[in-house]
Structure 1
Amino acid sequence: MKPDLSPPDLLRRMFEAAIAAAQPTLCIPPFLPEAPRGRLIVIGAGKASAAMAAAVEAHWPGPLEGLVVTRYGYAVPCERIEIVEAAHPVPDAAGLAAAERILARVSGLSSDDTVLCLISGGGSSLLPLPLPGITLEDKQAINRALLKSGATISEMNCVRRHLSAIKGGRLAAACHPARVVTLLISDVPGDNPIDIASGPTCADITTCEDALAIVRRYGIELPAHVREVLERGTGESIKPSDPRLEGNEIHLVATPQMALEAAAAVAREAGVTPWILGDSIEGEARDLGKAMAGITRQVATRAQPFSGPCVLLSGGETTVTVRGNGRGGRNVEFLLALGVALDGLPGVHALAGDTDGVDGLEEIAGALLHPDSLMRAWEQGMRPREHLDNNDGHGFFGALGDAVVTGPTLTNVNDFRAILIGASS
């Protein structure tokens, strides 16, 4: 490792490289469609959608118009595309109104027109248009229950799709007969387009019965009128055989794997061997932290299966089953569980953060773990295991001064985890 680079500095540089690799200014231009005979309508939703729209404007030579919705604080100035802000992860009335306006914008198009749909993580909460008979308040309550349940992102989005008037392919169907080109920045394990913002332009093979099974699995209480939508099948999504989706295109322009590879390049340049363990790792955050601690200890003490100095990189999206009343955050929960299990193992530093800059409900991307983190916590009178039991990772690392704050990153390729082993400053 370069002598002028400390372990925390290297970890931060890797995280910054991961975020930079998924910036819309780099990944959008190569996928822009050819100019249509008619109009180009730009629509979209997600934490990166405004930055994606700005990239389209900067590289599109002809006329265009459109509307995208992004998270509060994530707007980027555009001249021809209207940017609307709304709430995430629990939807609000601004998102509802934006979804209604987007549907209105794509109605009445012709086969000469092209709809360019810009979708990134967070789009599901930002397009909360419910089916008739279901209210925004219903959607908000269900969203909160899903977020606390421990359900995977794929399971949550399955339920959302079958209660929505815009997700699960319905937005693409509304654009017919116009051509639809969708550009996706993936924030989901496996990069399945149907799970990115609940797939507003994607055909969906899941069913209302699948959604009901998820609701039963996690004991989520649904109002009677909402359950009836699923039981009767009136919330069924658009299927692959639907002719309204024929000829549409979907492109993944940025993925978690690309971000991890960018971070790996930074490590190599610093003289540290990177090992990418997976870009789609799921499960309970604290369980993953404990498992990764076991692998880390084997590397640090026995040089198996890797020898140091090295960095273990991984991505994906863990879950947190909320049992306490702390400040939350799946990345900091992973990191605290890792730290508790390592118990101050020398020579190990780690960073875990969300590439969108928001871990849980906090405007904090994640945190850093050092070999002396637990000792410093005890000196302050904190008990690490109690913070973990209380789902209070943000409170723990914030008190140590080890929170990682990026501000809005204008992209989102899921969680980033890096465990640096055997590197000295």
Structure 2
Amino acid sequence: MARQVRRAFKYRFYPTGEQAAELSRTFGCVRLVYNKALEERTRAWDGEQRRISYAQSSAALTQWKKTAELAFLSEVSCVPLQQVLRHLQTAFGNFFAKRAAYPRFKSRKRSRASAEYTRSAFTWREGRLTLAKMTEPLDIRWSRPLPQGAEPTTVTVSRDSAGRWFGSILCQDSLSAAPATDAAVGIDAGITSLMTLSTGEKIANPRHERRDRARLAKAQRELSRKAPRSANRDKARRKVARVHARIADRRRDFLHKLSTRLVRENQTVVIEDLTVANLLKNRRVARAISDAAWRELRTMLEYKCAWYGRELVVVDRWFPSSKLCGGCGTVRAKLPLDVREWTCGCGAVHDRDVNAARNILAAGLAVSACGDGVRPQREPSRTGRSSAKQETQRAIAGISRLQAGEEVKTCLRFSGTA
């Protein structure tokens, strides 16, 4: 059965000189309005303990346009300015709900240059997109077609640090669930191998950043020799940005292909709840972890599983997947990182990563069958123990009940997902 989802399609485009100037002015006005509204909200809260709503910020924007100092705000489309106020309202809502940090000011050099146009601020005719305040349509390179009969509802225009222009077109799309299958897979993330599957397959880490590290270092050395605020320095900065963009594009392409393959081949995908932000505090492996992009891969798995009717199970981060024997259920007291293969007292010889992936799969299926989630919950229970620890113990107990070498199809019946 097909389901309707809102989906964004991103394309590169090449603006004319007039269009580039108009968009650059819009980016500057969007940044100014955001910073000024954030400043007003911060001053009202610090001085009067008063919150400012979106309606009040919108009314203030109207007054700013009437002043001689900010009259240039009327020269660009009003829609991106209103949209950035809505984004600021959402940012404060996330902050007060304790889902995000306090909103930060936008920087001209470091922040992403973008502007969002809703349906009233662009024209879509015969596959040609024309933004407000422009007379010619954008020269978009249609790398893939939009869904049949799709009508864009929102267009977000952006320019990255390498000087490339992109347009993200949001529209309704109809997605059909992937054919059902009995396959399930557990995933153990790593650095030497980007991920190890419970099937025994090890997917090599492409190490995109390391492959271009020499080129990046050379570009950064050239940048360091340029005079500050010179045209040559700006050229060198863009050269560095192009190397970073090449690395990011190749990494994203690889992760998209990998996540799509996992979702298509498996009905259930089980992963670990890794705290990447904490792992990045270890300066010895921070660069390698950043290059692996575990968080980005998890995000892709989350929305693709939702799109295609798959189940994504997240196992608690404290589950001892590497130290647990998949044969007898014994948990080792210690297992240093340099030990890649170990032998249990029952005689079973384990590859560290493969054993962890199989334990992650069994834990996800066993805990799901108990009727409780496997995401970590830190609130103490009535027994005085955290829910996460109880889930881990139930997972180990469930694994011990599953016989070694049991087929995945049997596990799926046990979890009620088959």
Query: Could you state the TM-score of these two structures normalised by the residue count of structure 1?
Result: 0.22
Greater fraction helix? 2
Bigger radius of gyration among the two: 2
Query: Whose RCO is larger (CA < 8 A, sep 6+)?
Result: 1
